Structures are given as C-alpha cells and as structure tokens.
Amino acid sequence: MAGLRVQTLIFVLVGALAILDRTFVEANFDKNFIVTWGKHHIGTTNGNLRLVLDKSAGSAIRSKVAHLFGTVEMLIKLVPGNSAGTVAAYYMSSTGTAHDEIDFEFLGNSTGEPYTIHTNIFAKGKGDREQQFKPWFNPTNGFHNYTIHWNPSEVVWFVDGTPIRVFRNYEKEGIAYPNKQGMKVFASLWSADDWATQGGRVKTNWTQAPFVAEGRRYKARTCLWQGPASIKQCADPTIKSNWWTSPSFSQLTRSQIDRMQKIRSGFMIYDYCKDTNRFKGVMPPECSKRQF
C-alpha cells in the first residue's frame, strides 16, 4: 500500500511538472531567447536585458519557443532623453506572408516630448489596425509592465495592469483572428526616423547615441506551440491548465472597462476605426463590432 502511495505521488508530481512546463516560463533572457541581430549591442546582467542602438546597428532578440494563447509580460524602461527616430518594439509574431502578430511599439520623441505607444494586430497577414496612445506616465523613469493577454475570445493589451485596447474574435463573421499559429516573442531597438517621430519630420540625433532600452522580469504563462495539434489542444476549455479559456477571461470586468475607457478618452491619439479618409469610407468590418 505504501509503495502504491509513493507511485501515485510520483505520478502526480510528474503530471504537475508537465503542466508547468507547458504553461509557464519565467525567462532568463540568456536561456530563453536568441539574438536575431546586433549581437554586440545586447547585454544581460542578472537576467535583465539591455538593448543598444547606435549608428552602426540596433539590436533584437526572440524567444526560442512559440506560444498559442495565454499571457506574456515584461517590465520595460524606454530610451531616456532625446529618443527621436528610435523605435523600441515588444511583440509576438508567427512567420510567413499570412502571419499573425500582436504589437507594442514605442516611438521615441525629442527631449521633453512624450513617447507614442503604438499598438497593432495582424491576422492571416492582414494588419492596418493601429491604435496609438500618449503615455500618462514617464516610460523612461523606471520600469513599467506591458502585457499581452491572448485567448480564443479576445486579445487585450495592458499597461501597468490597466487594459488599453481589446480585439475580439469575430471569426465566425468572416473577420480573421489569430488563433491557428504559434507566435514567438520579440524585443528590439532600431532606428526608423523616416516615419517614427512626427511622421519622419524629426530625425535621429546620432550625437546622443548610444540609445539604451532595458527589460526585466519577462514572464510567459502560455500554451506552448507544438505544431497543428496545438490549435485544438490550447483552446480546449476542458483542460484544467488552459486557464485562459475560463469564462472569466472572455470579457473584461466592468471595473477594467471603466479604467480602459478613461485611458482611451484621455490619451488615445489615433484609432484606425475613426480614420474614414484612410479607408475612403469603407471601414474595416470589426470597427462596427463591440470590442469590450
């Protein structure tokens, strides 16, 4: 009987470890990411990330594993001072021409002028869904939490725990939704002074280089992508470890919506769903749907 209890305990522990391995990564950047470019412009200290940009090169990393549904988050400190022309990006993406992608991009500005928090989403290669915000805090003075929550019902962008944007799943109505491709996590710092700051009117001042952005405490509580079988497995609400499929995560709470609406009414500076000139009056179909 004692031997049976020991065997049972071992089975439970192994099963629990398997679930943790499938759904949670608290990343040491050295172990869980690879450099995609700018090898000599990237540093890590005590598990923290340092991305550097100068006139010779920028820098970028990506996760070794891909994810389908869950939450990824990172604390980020943006380039201080005159960051005009620079872009710090933190996003998820699959590959190919019909790729999925969920973006945070931080567009630099001249000293004393606010950053732009730029968000976008691609589904089956279709993007052009930008929403932009001015920060209600100083993103260069300390670290702030940027979280992407993604499940079969909706994608939510959070800043310091407050939702700022939602994109709901209306796939049944012919609107593409990112739910069939695993996405890796990327972080980068690069120059885009042809468009990033005031439409490209303000260029990068290279005498201010090197520009430095920092990241720490990256966490991924997700379903790891194991190929096409994950499409069903990661969306299965009967699997207990698929916490993101719980009805409580299918819709923001009233309190969350109230907080989000305050941010959107006070700090949103661009919404593609209101840009009738851009779309010549034929608006993207999701613009007429409830998102939150």
Q: For the chain, give every domain's residue range.
A: 29-286
What backbone phi and psi angles, to 5 degrees, belong to 18? -65, -40
User: pLDDT-derived band of residue 46, with 50, 70 and 90 as boundaries?
Assistant: confident
User: Is the pLDDT score of 239 beyond 50?
Assistant: yes
One-letter amino acid at 164 equals: I
Beta bridge partners of 101: 93, 122
47-85 confidence digits (pLDDT tens) = 789 999 999 999 999 999 999 999 999 999 999 999 999
134-187 confidence digits (pLDDT tens) = 999 999 999 999 999 999 999 999 999 999 999 999 999 999 999 999 999 999
How crowded is residue 236: how many other Cβ atoms within 10 Å of its Cβ? 12
User: Is the pLDDT score of 13 beyond 60?
Assistant: no
Q: Taking residues 247-257, what's their average pLDDT?
A: 96
Q: Taking residues 196-205, what's their average pLDDT?
A: 85
Beta bridge partners of 159: 146, 162
Distance separating alpha carbons of residues 15 and 21, to the nearest angstrom: 10
One-letter amino acid at 132 equals: Q
pLDDT (0 to 100) of residue 24? 56
Mean pLDDT of the chain: 90
Q: Taking residues 266-278, what's their average pLDDT?
A: 97
Q: Tell me the CATH architecture of domain 29-286.
A: Sandwich (2.60)
Percent of the chain at pLDDT > 70 equals 91
Residues with a catalytic annotation lie at: 101, 105
User: Is the pLDDT score of 36 beyond 80?
Assistant: yes
Does the pTM surpass 0.75? The reply is: yes
Rounded to the nearest 10 degrees, how much is the dihedral formed by the CA atoms of 173, 177, 181, 183? 180
Range list of β-strands (E), 192-292:
211-224, 268-271
Whether residue 191 contacts residue 89, with contact meaning beta carbons closer than 8 Å, is answered with no
